[in-house]
Structures are given as C-alpha cells and as structure tokens.
Structure 1
Amino acid sequence: MRAVVVERYGNPASVAVVERLGPEPAAGEVVVRAEAMGVGYVDVMASRGLYAYFPGPGSSPGLEIAGVVESTGPGVPPELVGRRVLGLPAFGGLAELVTVSADRVLPLDDGVESEVAVALGVNALVAEIGLRRAGVDAGRRVLVRGAGGGIGALATQIAAAHGARVTAVTSGPDRARRLLASGATRTVGRDEGPALERDVDIVVDPVGGSALADHLRLPAANGHYVLCGAAAGAPSGADLEVVMEMFHSSPTLHAFSLNSVAPADLRASWGRVSALVGSGRNPGCRRGALPAHRGTGRAARRRTGRRLRQGGAAPVRAF
C-alpha cells in the first residue's frame, strides 16, 4: 500500500509517499480502506516535530479517514466488513489501509460522502462536544476564537444551529462574510476581540497562544471557557494567574481533548452532527476532493507549511 510518511522533521522534502506492507488488525481493531482523508493543522505540527503525541519520523500523520472496513481483528464483529465508516486513528491516517481501534470507527449514513465526512470529522466532534459541555443553548452568548479555522468554523455553525448568539473572531473580510453566512451574529477582527466582547457565556478557543490571558477575562460570571487547541502556542504560568484572578466570578475552564471522550459519547456526538447535516441546519464544509493520482502529493505538500484553506481539515481523495 501507499502511505504519506514524515521521514524527518522540518522542510517539504521531509514528507514522502512510500510503499509499505498493508497492516493486519490486532485484537479490537479494524482495517479501513480509505476513500478520503482529512489533513489539518495538527498534521502540519506533527510533521515539524511540534506535536508531542506524534510517534516520530517514519510514521504517517493523519487523524481522520473515511472509507470501508476491509478486515476485522479478534473480538470485533466480522459483520463490520464492508461498512462505510469515519475512522479516528491515533495518527497513521494518510495511507491506503489504516488500522483503527474498533471503538473509534463511526457509522456513515449513505447520504454523507466520504469527503464531507472527513471535512467534518475531528473538528465537528471537538466543536460539538466542547459546546455541549459548556451548556450551549438558544440565546447563549458564544465567542469563537479562530473562527476561520476548522474547529472554529464548525463551532460557529453548531452554536448558531442551537440558537446561540455567536461572535466569530477571525481575520479578513472574506472569512467574515462566510462566517456571517454560516450563522455568526457578528464578526470581529482577531485583534479586536478582547476589547469589544466581554461577559459572554461561552468562549471556544482552539488558538491559545500569547493572547490567551486576555481572552480568559471574557466570560461572564459562571461562564465557560473551552480551551480545545493551541494553534498559536501552549498556555503559560501567567495564564493560570489570570484564572485565579477571575476566581470570584466562578468561571469554568474546560481543557478539552477528544482523546478523553468515551466511545459511546463519540458515537452520540457523531449522531448529532449527522442529524444537523441531514436537517439542513448543517455544519458545512468547503469541498476539496482531488483526483486519486494527485491526492497523495497534495496531502504531503499541505503537511509541510502551506496555508490550509478556511474550514480546517482539507479533504483529499485517497490515492
């Protein structure tokens, strides 16, 4: 089989398409033949050696694939073979055949194309579960940082589908127009957010970085802050000082990773996302399927630093 591999950390030449033996599923695993795969910023970080959980050079990036179950390991019902699924591997997703834990494969409805599934994928699950934990509901005031990215764009749309009033923090008029069209109540420039929007009920933050301290001051009393990424850098000790500064307003800080979510909760969340897709109040995605002969090369180039499109995980057709 073919796979995209990080041969060494760093520059574009360090990522290559190689031939490898196909995997055999171990106990509790399935092998999925990928039809489409998601390429997101976390994969760029992994290829540069900036993501601690990436196994390292010689490994394939990729956290989300859509395709058909080809084989099952011991302890997995054999009737899964032939079913279309969204798979969430612990990396290794940029390959023709991918091993995935059976409790991290989610069913795909017939009406959901593979490219759409991975464009939603991890980003939609993070956004949906994070917002639900923070109590999103009609009339709630939600501020989304990095709203032009994958998690942020979907958090904007999912919060709006719940009837929340959403302020989307982004950059550039084109992204602002798209976010307003997809449900944001208003948009603000990313340098204006802390100055213009305070006393919100929920902040969704996949960005982190040096501006985190300013944004931690935005929730209202008893508000929620969902820190679900660190695209601009990890929190610092100064950020913890701000949390203690806000002590008497009783904020709730959710440090949220999808890795902590139980399989049953993943399936329930994917069911809710799929229902939104089917209802027409759907979290949308920008379509970007590529012909099979171009998919691997484009995936490799995206992994090494080229700007990803608004909408986050860029779907590429598998090999």
Structure 2
Amino acid sequence: MKAIAIQRYGAPDGLAVVDLPAPGPAAGQVLIAVRAAGVGGVDAVIRSGALAAYGFAEGFVPGGEVAGTVTAVGEGVDASWIGRRVWAFTGTGGGYVEQVAAPVREIVPLPADLSDADAVALGSSGAVAHFALAHAHFAPGERVLVRGAAGSIGIMTVQLAVRAGAAAVAVTTSSAERGDRLRSLGATHVLDRSGASTGAQDAPADYDVVVDVVAGPGLPSFLDLLAPNGRMVAVGIVAGQPPADFGTKLMDAFRKSLSFATFSADTVAAADLRAVRVEQFAAAARGELAAVVHKVLPLEEAALAHRKMDAGEVFGRIVLTP
C-alpha cells in the first residue's frame, strides 16, 4: 500500500511516497480503509526534526487521525464493525496511509450526515479544545483568549467557548480576513499576533482564560493578559518551546495568583475522549458545530500540505485522501 514517510527531517520535501506492506488487524483492532487523514500541527513539528530525541526516527509515517470504513476485525472484536464508517485515533503517527489498523477502543462511529473530511477536522481538535477548557476550569461568563485561533484546535476552542456561554472570546490571528472568519464562528474580538486589538471595538483589558496553541518565544507575554486568578493552558508548540527564562516569568505571576498548565489529550481516558467525540460529531451533523476544512489534497501531495502549514496559509485543517 502507499504511505507517506519522513525520509529526512527538515523541510516538507523530506516527505516521500513509499510502499509498505498492508497491515492486518491484531487482537482488539480493526482494519480501516482510509478515506481521509488529518494533517495536524504536531505532524509538522515531528517532520521538522524538533522531536527526534523523543523517538521519532526517520522513516516515521505521520498522521494521528483518520476516517474511513472498517474492512476487517481482529480477534475479540465484534464483526458488526465491518462495513461501518468510523473515525480513528492512530496515536502519534501512522495515519498517512491507504489502510491502517487501530484499537477498537480508539474508534468512533460516524453519523451518516458527517463527511470523512469533516470528521478528521473535528475528531482530535474538538476533544483537545473541550478538555483544555475544562483543564482551565472555564466557567460561563468568563472572558477567553485563544492564541493561534486559525488552526483546527483554535477554531474548535472558539466555538466551544461561545457555546458554553463565554462573556467574550478574543482571538489572535495573522490577517483581517482570518479575523472575519473567526468572527463568523463566534469570536467577539480580534487581536494581532502580539495580543493587541485590531478592531474599532476595544478588547477586554484582561482574560480569565488563555488557551495557547502556539507557545514559542511569545508565550510569556500572554501571561500579562491574564486577570487576577487567571489560567493559561498551553495545548500546542507550533512555534517551538517557550524561552529558557520562562520560569522567571512564572515567578512574576505570584502577585496575581495566576496559573499556568500544559495539556495533552494523552492524559484523558479513552472512554471520556470517545464520549466527547460522539457528542461533537452528532452536533456537527446537526449543524451546531462547524468543521473547517482548508483544503482536500491527494495523499501523494502531503509535502504540499506541509508547505502550506509552514507558510501559515492554513485556516482549519488540511485533509489528505488516499
């Protein structure tokens, strides 16, 4: 079968089409004919080589989520899954393929009215957004700032915060056009990448919750935008690690009783993730949540997808189709 592997770290051109043996489902797994594979920010970070020290060797196949049809089941799995459309979490990688085996505990059946592409625009990002807001102890009536809101996690965080009754949802983004699109999804204020207001309507002076998808050198300055007792949760590192002196900045937070936390969906029980995904897929099928797909590309054009991500061109999620 065809797959996309990282043949060398660095630029997107290090991604290449390779032939791999078709997998078979082991005990407790299903085999999925992939119809859509989501391209996530972590895929680009892994491809860059920034996480090579964590065991991502060259030859690694990226892709953490797919949607498609179950074609076979392993020992101990109910055969009624065969023929059903599902979304699946494939772990930190393995999704840029034509066929993939996934644990049955990591699959979610898809509503008939939800496309495969929409499923992979929602599946991982929606759950991360939900539990990040919970991790921040967000409550209705609070003011929320989403840093890096044009990506799929940011877009879902905006929608979920609005849906849950936030008093204000401010976003940072790179252009007026993106700001308008985020407003259409419920954002109340648009800020530039530094956190300064770009609109005629003044943004809140501070926020109860900041959800940060970006990290990198600019992360510490967003602590200054927290209200007393405010909470920041970092859910991504698309701009790299925070600066080495970030700990000094955290010491300054004592005077306002601020909290800083990181969040990974890996710390959430599979059953809890599944329940949230079932609810969100149903809400999207009813038109209550928007799945934002930037572009659908053939699997063979994974390098182009990564070039678009590196250039900051993507609003939502790029989807690859074998």
TM-score when scaled to structure 1? 0.90
Shift of the 248–103 alpha-carbon distance from structure 1 to 2, 3 Å rule, reads farther
Q: Secondary structure at the match of 2:64?
A: coil
Alpha-carbon deviation of 1:248?
Answer: 4.3
Are residues 1:255 and 2:262 paired? yes
Mean alpha-carbon deviation: is it higher for 57-66 or for 300-309? 300-309
Mean alpha-carbon deviation: is it higher for 272-281 or for 238-247? 272-281
Residues 240-299 of structure 1 show CA distances to partners (whole Å, capped at 9, x for unaligned) of: 222232124333323101121110111122133224314433133135334xxxx02222
Give the Cα separation in 1 of the matches to 2:232 and 2:37: 30
Q: Secondary structure at the match of 1:203?
A: strand
Give the 5 Å matches for 1:7-26: 7-26=7-26
Are residues 1:316 and 2:320 paired? yes
The aligned amino acid for 2:51 is Y
Contact 2:208 2:227 in 1 (8 A): yes
Give the Cα separation in 1 of the matches to 2:44 and 2:11: 11
The aligned amino acid for 1:69 is V
The aligned amino acid for 1:135 is H
Alpha-carbon deviation of 1:308?
Answer: 5.5
Residues 216-262 of structure 1 show CA distances to partners (whole Å, capped at 9, x for unaligned) of: 23222222211101111113442222223212433332310112111
Shift of the 308–100 alpha-carbon distance from structure 1 to 2, 3 Å rule, reads farther
1:269 to 256, 273, 276: 276
Give the count of matched residue pairs: 314
Could you say which residue in structure 1 is the equivalent of 2:50?
Answer: 50
Give the Cα separation in 1 of the matches to 2:250 and 2:120: 35
Give the Cα separation in 1 of the matches to 2:11 and 2:217: 25
Alpha-carbon deviation of 1:63?
Answer: 0.9
Could you say which residue in structure 1 is the equivalent of 2:39?
Answer: 39
Contact 2:135 2:263 in 1 (8 A): no
1:183 to 171, 182, 186: 186
Q: Secondary structure at the match of 2:170?
A: strand
Q: Secondary structure at the match of 1:288?
A: strand
CA RMSD in angstroms comes to 2.2
Q: Which runs of 5+ in 2 are unaligned?
A: none
Could you say which residue in structure 1 is the equivalent of 2:249?
Answer: 242
Shift of the 54–88 alpha-carbon distance from structure 1 to 2, 3 Å rule, reads farther
Give the Cα separation in 2 of the matches to 1:230 and 1:268: 26
The aligned amino acid for 1:225 is M
Mean alpha-carbon deviation: is it higher for 230-239 or for 158-167? 230-239
Could you say which residue in structure 2 is the equivalent of 1:69?
Answer: 70
The aligned amino acid for 2:17 is V
Give the Cα separation in 2 of the matches to 1:308 and 1:248: 36
1:302 to 305, 315, 318: 305
Mean alpha-carbon deviation: is it higher for 117-126 or for 306-315? 306-315
Give the Cα separation in 1 of the matches to 2:27 and 2:257: 45
Q: Percent identity?
A: 36
The aligned amino acid for 2:177 is D
Could you say which residue in structure 1 is the equivalent of 2:6?
Answer: 6
Could you say which residue in structure 1 is the equivalent of 2:214?
Answer: 207
Residues 19-58 of structure 1 show CA distances to partners (whole Å, capped at 9, x for unaligned) of: 2211122233222110111112222222221234563212
Q: Secondary structure at the match of 1:283?
A: coil
Q: Which runs of 5+ in 1 are unaligned?
A: none
Shift of the 85–197 alpha-carbon distance from structure 1 to 2, 3 Å rule, reads same
The aligned amino acid for 1:68 is T
Are residues 1:126 and 2:128 paired? yes
Residues 84-136 of structure 1 show CA distances to partners (whole Å, capped at 9, x for unaligned) of: 11111120100011122222212211111101111122122211211133233
